[in-house]
Amino acid sequence: MEHNRSTDGVWIFGDCRNHFQNRVTLQLIAKGKELAETLNTEVTVLVLGEQVHQYAMEYTAHGADVVMVAEHPGLKYYQVEMYTAVIARWIEASKPDILLAGATSFGREFFPRLAKRVHTGLSADCIGLEVDPETGNLLQTTPAFGGELLAEVVTSRHRPQMATVRPGVFQELQHNSKATGRILYPEIDVQPEQRVQLLGSQRQQVRKNNLEEAQVVVVGGRGLGSKEQFELVSELAELLEGEVGATRPAVLAGWSEEERLLGQTGKAVKPKLLISIGTSGALQYTAGIHGAETIIAINRDPRAPIFKMADLGLVGDSTTLLPLLLEALRKRIKNHYLEHIASSVRTSGGA
Ligand SMILES: Cc1cc2nc3c(=O)[nH]c(=O)nc-3n(C[C@H](O)[C@H](O)[C@H](O)COP(=O)(O)OP(=O)(O)OC[C@H]3O[C@@H](n4cnc5c(N)ncnc54)[C@H](O)[C@@H]3O)c2cc1C
């Protein structure tokens, strides 16, 4: 859409699937509020589906000024054609200035199509958003060339300025049940005839994953060599009360769920401690772990690039080192509990 008419508002696509685990919409509302303040406008969240009005209150409690709801049985399941049609109509009617979505599998599939439909640009996987106070344009920071460079993208001539943003980059605002907002039910254009007919869906059983918030993340890569060895990574993460991450080859081999992929096309994490095992340190992977405070790498090749960014490197075979590490940790945890029990007995004996 040519930027020749006045435009208004910061819009955020409300990705309410797995709502309590997927916090990206809430994170975007917090950032959207900052942008809206500079632009002297409002934050609107768009929610599509069936029985989704329940999410509207959740979004206003996290800072949304307005929630636009499309309730329709035909929107029960996400379908790219339908979602594009509904939101494109809303954009044409209301001309928002900015439209953001999380860089989830959802946002990554449907935002490019939507951007094409409304004739505007799209920056994918942004890690920073600011408004240029002089021009009012959105400065969209996104990794380029496999994360080697950071590019600043500006959509100066078209509106809306569209971007997908990685989960975990921004911090959500606290839930405030007293906050109020306007909930609108605008006209929707649900086309009955779709080229793809969804007959049903079944939720995949995956272990709960809290990667973006985890204080400890243990990552397994191709060097582990087998699913059995990858299980040891999960065990290590469990002992450290952390989460498991994976590189793309580990996901492709079926050792880990895709939700645990880290990197350019996966998640970005910011733990206090990250242990990277059997990973070479490819740029596309390390793009997701720059936020880690301390990195320990285990690799049998002393020249592996991962050692350049690691704070501590262990050169050795993971099949030898991992069992040793697990044994040492279990012993430490056991001693800690024994000490704890002994001290409780001493305290209660003395009382
Ligand atoms: C457009 C694009 C996007 C991509 N996005 C991503 C992404 O988001 N995330 C991602 O992870 N990848 C991504 N990739 C793939 C990426 O380029 C790398 O191929 C991948 O990260 C490598 O994974 P790895 O380190 O597990 O495997 P490898 O590069 O094969 O490294 C395995 C390492 O294990 C070591 N090793 C082998 N055996 C042992 C052992 N017994 N003990 C200890 N060490 C051992 C080896 O020395 C080696 O360094 C992307 C690629 C492209 C082209």
For residue range 258-277, list pLDDT tens digits in order: 889 999 888 999 999 999 99
Q: Average model confidence (pLDDT) for the chain?
A: 88
Helices (H), the chain: 24-39, 53-61, 80-94, 105-117, 227-239, 248-252, 283-286, 306-309, 318-350
Question: Which residues are 162's β-sheet partners?
Answer: 99, 122
Confirm or reject: Cβ of 304 under 6 Å from ligand 1.
yes
Nearest Cα residue to atom 13 of ligand 1:
284
Confirm or reject: Cβ of 7 under 6 Å from ligand 1.
no
| Mean pLDDT value of segment 59-85 | 90
CA of 247 to the centre of ligand 1 (A): 6
For residue range 37-53, list pLDDT tens digits in order: 999 999 999 999 988 87
Q: How many CB atoms lie within 10 A of CB 74?
A: 16
Confirm or reject: Cβ of 247 under 6 Å from ligand 1.
yes
Confirm or reject: Cβ of 282 under 6 Å from ligand 1.
yes
For residue range 191-238, list pLDDT tens digits in order: 666 777 777 777 766 556 689 889 999 999 999 999 999 999 999 998
Look-up: residue for tokens 């590189």? 247
Confirm or reject: Cβ of 49 under 6 Å from ligand 1.
no
d(CA 290, CA 262): 11
Confirm or reject: Cβ of 25 under 6 Å from ligand 1.
no
Please state the atom number of ligand 1 nearest to the C-alpha of residue 280.
49
More confident residue, 196 or 25: 25
337 pLDDT band, cuts 50/70/90, is low
* Predicted confidence (pLDDT) at residue 106 exceeds the cutoff of 90: no
168 pLDDT band, cuts 50/70/90, is confident
Predicted structure pTM score? 0.61
What local confidence, expressed as pLDDT, does residue 163 receive?
A: 97
What local confidence, expressed as pLDDT, does residue 350 receive?
A: 45
Burial category of 69 from C-beta neighbours within 10 Å (exposed 0-12, middle 13-18, buried 19 and up) = buried
CA of 280 to the centre of ligand 1 (A): 5
